[in-house]
Amino acid sequence: MKHFIDLADIKAAEFLDLLDLAVLLKQNQHTTASQRLAGKTLGMIFAKSSTRTRVSFEVGMYQLGGQALFLSTQDIQLGRGETIADTARVMSRFLDGIMIRTFSHQDVLDLARYGSVPVINGLTDLMHPCQALADLLTVKECFSSLKGLKMAYFGDGNNVAHSLLQAGAKTGMHLAVATPGQYACSKSIVAAASEEAEKNGGSISITEDPLEAAKDADVLYTDTWVSMGQEDEKAARIKIFGDYQVNERLMALAKSHAIFLHCLPAYRGLEVSEAVIDGPASRIFDQAENRLHAQKAVLVRLMES
């Protein structure tokens, strides 16, 4: 594994190894034995603001004995027009790894192409692999085994949904994605995930009916309906996604032990009801914490020498 950009490029065995390593690192996070990246430095480029991504990567590098540098695009030459290629080449001379949180997925691909150090996708408009790894770590903690579980996703077929499809397919889960037709997931990503799922004993189903997706689910998952950069669409999106709210009605269709996940930030009363997100089935803060442990596993596998 040279980079962590798109889960389609990660083998199923590598993904499962990351989950196992994340569990181990979580158990040993306050011991000196966990400081496996002593002397290493991670550069963190942020074109999009963040709470969980920035804090979890900074704390993760600190706990692993290394250092993280926060680099806003407005504080480095990218913000003044320097090319991704030149930035990648220069930063590779200083750093042991680069994490980038940005809009264009191509920017991440170009960093990896022109740089000589590992690149981690902290989020793009197309993919969010770090989130999906943390999500499945949370599910694994709740149910021990992932294979055969049903996860239902509701709302926008966005970057989170794309990475969840890929992650679930690698672990033999059954993914049911319910979105309005015009906000469906990428057809090519769905097709590739379906093929991968079939090889691993899982399945992918796409529907516009949230009730169908919720039936007998072990995990119910949603994300904000209005992501960064979509604020001008807020009123229209709220109207379109209204039937996709995760609420008591949907939870009642799931299995009695079902849990609720949300990658945060959440808007109570929109994509999820207060009764669900603050209720006994919610695991959102375990999920948020697991960003730290899952990303530490990625950092170790990419940067440990």
pLDDT of residue 74: 86
Q: Which of 101, 162, 237, 283 is catalytic?
A: 101
Q: What is the total residue count of the chain?
A: 305
Number of Cβ within 10 Å of residue 11's Cβ equals 11
The answer to whether residues 129 and 162 touch, using CB atoms and an 8 Å cutoff, is: no
Domain 7-128+291-303 and domain 131-287 have a common topology: yes
Tens digits of residue pLDDT in 128-161: 999 999 999 999 999 999 999 999 999 999 999 9
* Diameter over CA atoms, the chain: 55
Domain ranges (residues) in the chain: 7-128+291-303, 131-287
128 is catalytic: yes
Tens digits of residue pLDDT in 287-300: 999 999 999 999 99
142 is catalytic: no
The top-level CATH class assigned to 7-128+291-303 is: alpha beta
Tens digits of residue pLDDT in 158-176: 999 999 999 999 999 999 9
Q: With a cut of 70, say whether residue 33 has pLDDT above it.
A: no
pLDDT of residue 42: 98
Q: What is the pTM of this model?
A: 0.96
Q: Which of 52, 185, 263, 287 is catalytic?
A: 263
Q: What superfamily would CATH give domain 131-287?
A: Aspartate/ornithine carbamoyltransferase (3.40.50.1370)
209 is catalytic: no
Rounded mean pLDDT of the chain? 96
Rounded Cα–Cα distance for residues 35 and 172 (Å): 32
pLDDT of residue 232: 85
pLDDT of residue 87: 95
Q: With a cut of 80, say whether residue 92 has pLDDT above it.
A: yes
Q: Which of 223, 245, 262, 295 is catalytic?
A: 223
291 is catalytic: yes
pLDDT of residue 231: 81
263 is catalytic: yes
Q: Which of 174, 262, 291, 293 is catalytic?
A: 291
Tens digits of residue pLDDT in 219-252: 999 999 987 777 888 899 999 999 999 999 999 9
* Helix, strand counts (H, E) of the chain: 12, 9
Q: Which of 131, 166, 245, 287 is catalytic?
A: 131
